[in-house]
Chain A
Amino acid sequence: MTARRISGSGASLSFSFDGRPLQGRAGDTIASALLASGVRIVGRGFKYHRPRGIYGHWTEEPNALVDVTRDGRTTPNLRATTEWLTEGMIVRSVNAAPTAETDRSRYLDRFARFIPAGFYYKTFLWPDWHRFEPSIRAMAGLGRLDPDHEPPADAAPVNARCDILVVGAGPAGLAAALAASRAGRSVMLVDDRPEPGGSLLWNETEVDGVGGAEWAGAVARELRDRGQRVLPDTTAFGVFDHNLVALWERRHDQPDRQWRVRAKTVVVAAGSIERPLVFPDNDRPGVMSAEAALVYLKLHGVLVGERIVLAANNDRALAAAEPLRAAGAAVTVADLREGPVIDGVHGASGVEAVTISGRRMEADCLLVSGGFTPTVHLFCQAKGRLRYDDRIAAFVPGEPLPGMAVAGAANGAFSLQEALDQGHAAGGGNGVAPRAAASGAPLSIKPAWPRPGSKGRQWIDFQNDVTVKDVELAARENFRSVEHLKRYTTLGMATDQGKTSNMNGLAAMAAITGRTIEATGTTTYRPPFVPVPFTVIAGRRRGELFNPVRRLVLEAEHRAAGAVFREYGGWLRPAWYGPGSAFEATLREAKQARETVAIFDGSPLGKIEVMGPQATDLVDYNSYNTLSTLKPGRFRYGFMLTESGVVYDDGVTARIADDHYLVSCSSGHVPGVMARLEEWRQDRFDPAKIAIHNSTAGLATLTATGPRSRRLLEALALGVDLSDEALPHMAFADGVFDGATARIARVSFTGDRSYEITVPASKAPALFAAMVEAGRPLDAFPMGSEALLLLRAEKGFLIAGKDTDGTTMPHDLGVRGPRDRRAGEYVGKRSLFTDDAMRDDRQQLVGLSVEGETPLPTGAHAVDRIEGRRRSIGFVTSSYWSPTLGRPIALALIRRGLGRIGETIELVHLGRPLKASVTPPCALDPEGARLNA
């Protein structure tokens, strides 16, 4: 191999590749360092494991994928051409073992005819996919994932706005940014390289009297001096609706960052990408992009070969010959416009010779160019349409889009002056555009598309190992549209996203199917333009910032009391307290709650105030149960239905005054209930006569439940008459605690005597302390949610969404009154009278009891024979061991359940048969005597 470093300076850096220690320089990419070290084979083809070398110079690189270890952490599948070398970097090839050079699987190429495109689809048919699956999966990966490498998620996206966002700091982009800035607009200029200039950095040019690179630096300085934002190392990877552009900013000593930029105008000056020629064995190491050779020479001082053959079909690529000769290489030029044809490349491990039109030439490097493909991706993501320009053999932007301009090579303008002119105009520039010393020759391209039916194996997509024969196969099997071609052959689906292969692939399909290239068209463009790390997209949403839960005001007190927390309905709540397993603690708390008095934090329960002259109308309309007949000072339990008649939530509503209600709903449904109340408030009633305030977070509720609960309340001395006459079940009264109103409500979710005390949240710590203190002589104790769920199940009290499903209507729960008797409209009413609602075999909520001591598994299905076949007739919704009853209890939704009470039914769970008998849902104290005990 004869690539070598010939010029330049910079601090020396040590690194290794596939275990081999090598030297590079500050400013190198991994690719330029490998070339400078004479490394020729950097990887192996995905399917056939043929040796591969570096082809390109930037994001278009298809072959040089590597796993990179930095500071002990490994990131897989990075492109060697876009990763900057650092001291001590450990670089490994992917898809090859033990090394790229000595890969064990290189024999696979001999079986190539058995593994064409889509071969695995055929194994689905015969003999049996599962036989091949393990080996195909093992072959199908690329890099290795380091399970210990959790990249930091430290950088939140930055939101920014500007008048003009210019993507690309090449000549067109610089001209646009400069013009816009001088016209007084706010400008953001982004480029994915560390220095501005784009193609000015590797072409000999002069702009406005100075060298191209110098001019670029001066423009960037002027922009910064005027307070404009210039972001190097930043890729605009996606355009989204209404001109929101996502940027990936790579930073060296800090985590990478995402920008979300809302721009009034986006100027796409993203340049173009050189595409390869397609000929037999065009995938050999040493076959490289002509432009890449120029970039390695100019930016890194690396000469890619001693004896170079340069084969191209356009002037722009052929212009690389001179600089390469000046650097000391012997360059033979093959101008394919004049007729010569590349017959093939010789050398299994790398280019040793090239045969063109029958003439064999010794060479160590073959530079190719089949033309330049404008980088139109952002334009197409914004739903822009392309048109095919025959003169330059390229797809260019068609009808312009509002708010977006495309300039320079991205717009098919390959000459320097054209690029400057277009950029200047796109930036809304006054006066004259920057002048290039030499206007630049036109592309003068003669298309050299792949020719189907020709001999030898000719690669189109290097990374996914797709050849011209694969395109022919796809056409034969009728996958002729470009979208089908892509999915069937995987052409364009690798991490390089077809940057060097899409055009050749669709041109091949066009030739095979006898269509024009324009008619064949391109596949859909979608973000991201390059692979973007998830950490950049996720920002800081990791761990507890990912989906934060709501917190109780009393959290510290619960922690001090030994609470173990779980998430319930979006809140972090005590599940149980104290030592022992979940099971032990829950049973202990549930048992004791029915013996003494438990203190429970019920703060998350929804507390929505509906107020105003039309509050009654809204509350009645929203509820299945009539609420307008409720007297002030009382509660009523009821349901809220969806318009499909399904029980959405259950809860109690309190009437505080004629025009003031407190709607309570389950904690997880507060936003949903608020939304539906607001919707009807604005849509059906007069919003000026109703107000809905969600006071849930501002009020804390502590419940005392159990036979000694009244004694606890008396000890608190809240100034309320606690006699059962003055405060019966389902009534409330206002008292005072520490100078604030304390509402005491007799509502019970346990079935025992219960008092819920509601105070402003800031009073909660004092109230909790007072309850604990007052409760000491009563053996009071804090109780968690798990015990509460068990206690309510003993009483057959349902949890909406657990004991009801997406079809459960109120009459399935035994609540028929409003359906039978309510005259006025309410949400869901009509749905309660559909044929389906009136079926006699609907699932109904019942209890189940079993013999023995093993509770039924939640989710176990009850089964019966229906039309000769065993079918599910329902399932177990809640199931617990009851410490109070000393036996298992369960709730279930069973078809015709209420009519089966007393019967034995069969259940099945994971193949095991079970038996249970159907009972009413309430297993404990059906008369409700414990409420007043």
Chain B
Amino acid sequence: MQLFPCPFCGPRDETEFHFGGEAGKVRPEPAGEVSPAAWSRYLHRNANPRGATREIWVHLTCGEFFLMERDTVTHAVAASWSLRKEEP
């Protein structure tokens, strides 16, 4: 039962979270200029590294999507960052 640090709420049990995808994937646009290979890469290809990785997670209870760096082998969590441009 991992503990993940929501940038707003602080550390919470992993069951309060949901995986949001690999970090750093930018949606290719506009549709008319995107090759099938690029679109397929965006949809289906993941680096899925062994070890340190950066991922988007969402804290379901507060709804915030955020960036987290963690190790896929040891499950150690390095850090998390808010994705908001500025603090309210």
Q: Do chains A and B touch in the complex (CB under 8 A)?
A: yes
Q: Chain B residues near A833: list those with CB within 8 A.
A: 31
Inter-chain contact B39/A825, CB cutoff 8 Å: no
25 contacts between A and B (CB under 8 A): A241-B2, A241-B3, A241-B75, A242-B75, A242-B77, A244-B1, A262-B3, A383-B74, A644-B43, A675-B58, A678-B58, A678-B65, A679-B58, A682-B64, A682-B65, A682-B84, A683-B65, A683-B83, A688-B88, A825-B30, A829-B31, A830-B39, A833-B31, A834-B36, A834-B39
- Counting CB contacts under 8 A, is A835 at the interface? yes
Q: How far is the CB of A678 from chain B (nearest CB, A)?
A: 5
Q: Are A687 and B84 in contact (CB under 8 A)?
A: yes
- Given A675-B58, A683-B65, A260 contacting B31 (CB threshold 8 A): no
Q: How far is the CA of A682 from the CA of B64 in the complex (A)?
A: 8
Contact B39 A679 (CB under 8 A): no
| B20 surroundings in chain A (CB, below 8 A) | 679
Select the residue from A241, A262, A830, A833 with max chain B CB neighbours within 10 A: A830
Q: Are B58 and A825 in contact (CB under 8 A)?
A: no
Residue among A244, A682, A835 with the most chain B CB within 10 A?
A: A682
Q: B1 contacts A260, CB within 8 Å?
A: yes
Query: Is the pair B43, A643 in contact by a Cβ cutoff of 8 Å?
Result: yes
7 tightest A-B contacts by CB?
A830-B31, A241-B2, A244-B1, A829-B31, A242-B3, A682-B65, A830-B39
Mark A634-655 against chain B: 1 for CB-CB distance below 8 A, else 0. 0000000001100000000000
Query: Smallest distance from the beta carbon of A485 to chain B beta carbons, Å?
Result: 26
CB closest residue in chain B, given A692: B63
Q: Bound state CA distance, A707 and B31, in angstroms?
A: 46
| Residue A240 interfacial (CB < 8 Å) | yes
Q: Is A332 an interface residue (CB 8 A)?
A: no
The CA-CA distance from A831 to B29 in the complex, in Å, is: 12
Residue of B nearest to A260 (CB): B1
Residues from chain A with a CB closer than 8 A to the CB of B78 are: none
Residue pair B29, A825 in contact (C-beta under 8 Å): yes
Residues of B within 8 A of A (CB): 1-3, 14, 18, 20, 28-31, 34, 36, 39, 43, 58, 63-65, 74-75, 77, 83-84, 88
Give the distance in Å from the alpha carbon of A240 to the alpha carbon of B2 in the complex.
Answer: 8
CA gap between A262 and B1 in the complex, in Å: 10
| Assembled-state Cα–Cα distance A683/B85 (Å) | 11
Q: How many A-B residue pairs have CB under 8 A?
A: 47
B2 touches A679 (CB 8 A): no
Residues of B contacting A241 in the complex (Cβ-Cβ under 8 angstroms): 1-3, 14, 75
A679–B63 Cα distance when bound, in Å, is: 9
Q: A678 contacts B63, CB within 8 Å?
A: yes
Q: Which B residues are in CB contact (< 8 Å) with A260?
A: 1
Residue of B nearest to A674 (CB): B63
Tell me the complex Cα distance, A833–B14, Å: 38
- Alpha-carbon separation in the docked complex, A242 to B74 (Å): 10
CB <8 Å contact, B31 and A242? no
Chain A min CB distance to B26 (Å): 10
A526 to chain B: closest CB distance in Å? Answer: 15
A858 CA to B74 CA, complexed, in Å:
48
In the complex, which residues of chain B have a beta carbon less than 8 angstroms from the beta carbon of A834? Answer: 36, 39
Q: Which residue of A lies closest to B3 (CB)?
A: A242
Q: How far is the CB of B61 from chain A (nearest CB, A)?
A: 12
Chain B residues whose C-beta falls within 8 Å of the C-beta of A829 in the assembled complex:
31
Residue of A nearest to B65 (CB): A682
Contact yes or no, B36 A825, CB < 8 A? no
CB-defined contacts of A244 to chain B, threshold 8 Å:
1
Considering the chains assembled together, what is the distance between the CA atoms of A592 and B84 in angstroms?
A: 55
With A241-B2, A644-B43 in contact, do A682 and B31 touch (Cβ < 8 Å)? no
Of residues B29, B31, B36, which shows the largest number of chain A Cβ atoms within 10 Å of its Cβ? B31
Query: Which size bracket describes the interface of A in this complex?
Result: 20 to 34
Chain A residues within 8 Å of B, Cβ to Cβ: 240-242, 244, 260, 262, 383, 643-644, 675, 678-679, 682-683, 687-688, 825, 829-831, 833-835
| Nearest chain A CB to B27 CB, angstrom units | 8
Further pairs besides A241-B3, A242-B75, A682-B83: 5, Cβ < 8 Å: A242-B3, A244-B1, A679-B58, A830-B34, A834-B36
Smallest CB separation, B15 vs chain A (Å) = 11
In the complex, residue of chain B having the shortest beta-carbon distance to the beta carbon of A243: B3
Residues in B neighbouring A262, C-beta threshold 8 A = 3
Tell me the smallest distance from the CB of B71 to a CB of chain A, in Å. 11
Chain B residues whose C-beta falls within 8 Å of the C-beta of A383 in the assembled complex: 74
Given the complex of chains A and B, what is the CA–CA distance between A727 and B74 in angstroms?
62
The minimal Cβ–Cβ distance linking A617 to chain B, given in whole angstroms, is 14
Bound complex: CA A383 to CA B39 (Å): 38
Assess the B65–A679 pair: CB atoms within 8 A: yes
Question: Chain A nearest CB: distance from B4 CB in Å?
Answer: 9
Q: What CA separation (Å) do A829 and B36 show in the bound complex? A: 12
Q: Which residues of A have CB within 8 Å of B18?
A: 675
B residues within 8 A CB of A643?
43
User: How far apart are the CA atoms of A870 and B35 in the complex, in Å?
Assistant: 36
Q: Which residues of B sit under 8 angstroms from A831, Cβ to Cβ?
A: 39, 43
Docked Cα-Cα span, A688 to B87, in Å, equals 11
Bound CA span A835–B36, Å: 9
B73's nearest neighbour on chain A, judged by CB, is: A383
Pick the most buried of A241, A678, A835: most chain B CB atoms within 10 A of its CB: A241
Contacts of B58 in A (CB 8 A): 675, 678-679
Q: How far is the CA of A598 from the CA of B31 in the complex (A)?
A: 46
B30: nearest chain-A partner, CB-CB: A825
Contact A242 B2 (CB under 8 A): yes
What's the nearest-Cβ distance from chain B to residue A262, in Å?
A: 8
For the complex, what is the distance from the CA of A683 to the CA of B77, rounded to whole Å?
Answer: 23
Which of A240, A679, A683, A688 interacts with B1 by CB under 8 Å? A240
| Complex-state Cα separation, A890 to B22, whole angstroms | 43
Note all chain B residues with C-beta closer than 8 A to A679: 20, 58, 65
Q: Chain B contacts of A830 at CB under 8 A?
A: 28, 31, 34, 39
- In Å, the complex CA distance between A284 and B40 comes to 65
The chain A residue with its CB closest to the CB of B75 is A241
Q: Is the CB of B31 within 8 A of A825?
A: yes
Find the A residue at minimum CB distance from B11: A242
Taking CB atoms, residues of chain B closer than 8 Å to A688 are: 88
Chain A residues near B84: list those with CB within 8 A.
682, 687
| B66 CB to nearest A CB, Å | 9
CB distance from A51 to the nearest CB of B (A): 44
- Chain B's closest residue to A245 (CB) is B1
Q: Which residues of A contact B39 (CB under 8 A)?
A: 830-831, 834
Residue in chain B with minimal CB distance to A822: B31
Provide the residues of chain B in CB contact with A682, threshold 8 Å: 64-65, 83-84
Bound CA–CA A687/B84 (angstroms): 8
User: Using Cβ atoms and an 8 Å threshold, which residues of chain A touch B63?
Assistant: 678
A156 to chain B, nearest CB (A): 15
Shortest CB distance A241–B (Å): 4
C-alpha gap A679/B20 in the complex (Å): 9
**A825 surroundings in chain B (CB, below 8 A):** 29-31
Residues of A contacting B88 in the complex (Cβ-Cβ under 8 angstroms): 688
Q: Which residue of B lies closest to A830 (CB)?
A: B31
A675–B60 Cα distance when bound, in Å, is 9
Identity of the chain B residue whose Cβ is nearest the Cβ of A242 in the assembled complex: B3
How many angstroms from the CA of A829 to the CA of B31 in the assembled complex? 7
CB contacts (< 8 Å) of A687 on chain B: these are 84
Residues from chain A with a CB closer than 8 A to the CB of B14 are 241
Distance between B11 CB and nearest chain A CB, rounded to angstroms: 9
Q: Which residues of A contact B30 (CB under 8 A)?
A: 825
Please measure, in the bound complex, the distance between the C-alpha atom of A240 and the C-alpha atom of B74, giving whole angstroms.
Answer: 12
User: Which A residue sits closest to B84, measured CB to CB?
Assistant: A687
A720 CA / B87 CA spacing, docked (Å): 45
In the assembled complex, the Cα of A546 lies from the Cα of B58 at a distance in Å of 25
Looking at the assembled complex, report how far the CB atom of A539 sits from the nearest CB atom of chain B, in whole angstroms. 14
- How far apart are the CA atoms of A383 and B58 in the complex, in Å? 27
In the complex, residue of chain B having the shortest beta-carbon distance to the beta carbon of A683:
B65
CB distance from B23 to the nearest CB of A (A): 11
Contacts of B1 in A (CB 8 A): 240-242, 244, 260
Rounded to whole angstroms, the CA-CA distance of A683 and B88 in the bound complex is: 17
Min Cβ gap B63→A in Å is 5
Q: Which residue of B18, B28, B43 has the most chain A CB atoms within 10 A of its CB atom? A: B43
Bound Cα distance from A272 to B29, whole angstroms: 62
CA distance in complex: A240, B1 (Å): 6
